[in-house]
Amino acid sequence: MVQSIEFCCTANAGRSPVAEAIAREHLRKQNALDMYNAKSSGVYRDAIRNGVISESDKRKTVDTVLSYALHDKFLTREEIYKFYDAIRDINVPNRKEIIDEVFNKTMNKFSREEHAYRTIALRRLELEGKIKKESEQTIADPNVIASFGMEPWHAKAIKEIYRDGNPFPPAVISLGPIIAPLGEYVTGNPNLTIKSTFGGTKEEYFETIQVLEMCISPAIDKVINHYESLSI
């Protein structure tokens, strides 16, 4: 049976699909695709798709980009002022609608930008056309032998997903997947994270992909060595 090594970010959009493509190419070069596969998913993918996002998270997302939005003029001054009034005063008429409108407009813009940056990054990595077309939600998968979060909180969310939907029989619970932040697993440094650049610049995104590229191959090799040592 082919075993999977999984890479997880928030929505399975900007980071983890690129990680999957890099990982699969590494496995191909190692002639290991008959035994191991790379996959990716998003720990909040379904929640984001279904709009199940708290108002506070929406405020946080937009709050960090309002100055950029004003400079870039994709939000008008009137929209920004209305948004600030809405998050400060719970009695503002149509408060939820105002917050949702700014949130959705911001998310759509950043998603388009991230997709464009990802396309350029894949071209630079010579992986153009080798990325999956649809995003996926992280689930408890019995064929996964390692699941890596881009950030520590992703790894925590993965553990909760496996705890709540554990696919392993009680007798082999200890044989569940390795779950860890990717950067820390490779280097031992808990401060090395594959940070989100959603809403950031093209240069910031490319820097994140460089860190990702640096971590993928050693992570895969380490997992395979560990897994095969257990099989001896």
Tens of pLDDT along 45-96?
A: 998 888 776 666 666 666 655 656 655 667 777 887 888 788 778 888 988 8
Strand, coil or helix: what is 29? Answer: helix
pTM of the model: 0.86
206 within some domain: yes
Confidence bin at 211 (pLDDT 50/70/90): very high
First to last CA, the chain: 16
Quote the CA–CA distance of 6 and 39 in Å, as a whole number. Answer: 5
DSSP 170: G
Based on the domain organization, do 143 and 107 belong to the same domain? no
Query: pLDDT value at position 60?
Result: 60
Domain C-terminal end among 122, 148, 182 = 122
Cα dihedral across residues 175, 179, 184, 186: positive or negative? positive
Query: In angstroms, rounded to a whole number, what is the distance separating the alpha carbons of residues 159 and 207?
Result: 27
User: Which of the four pLDDT bands, split at 50, 70 and 90, describes residue 164?
Assistant: confident
- Whether residue 67 lies inside any domain: the answer is yes
Average pLDDT, the chain: 86
The answer to whether residue 159 scores a pLDDT higher than 90 is yes
Print the domain residue range for 195: 3-48+132-231
Q: What pLDDT digit, counting tens, does each position of 101-143 carry? A: 887 888 888 899 999 999 999 999 999 888 898 999 999 999 9
Q: Please spell the DSSP secondary structure of 77-121, one letter per residue.
A: HHHHHHHHHHHH-TTSTTHHHHHHHHHHHHHHHHHHHHHHHHHHH
Co-location of 80 and 140 in the same domain = no
Q: Which of 100, 122, 144 is the last residue of a domain?
A: 122
Beta carbons within 8 Å of 10's beta carbon, 6+ residues apart: 42, 43, 44, 45, 48, 150, 154, 196, 198
CA separation for the pair 205, 186 (Å, rounded): 21
**116 shares its domain with 163:** no
Task: Looking at the structure, tell me whether residues 98 and 7 fall in a common domain.
Answer: no
Going by C-alpha positions, the residue among 122, 154, 169, 128 that lies closest to residue 40 is 154
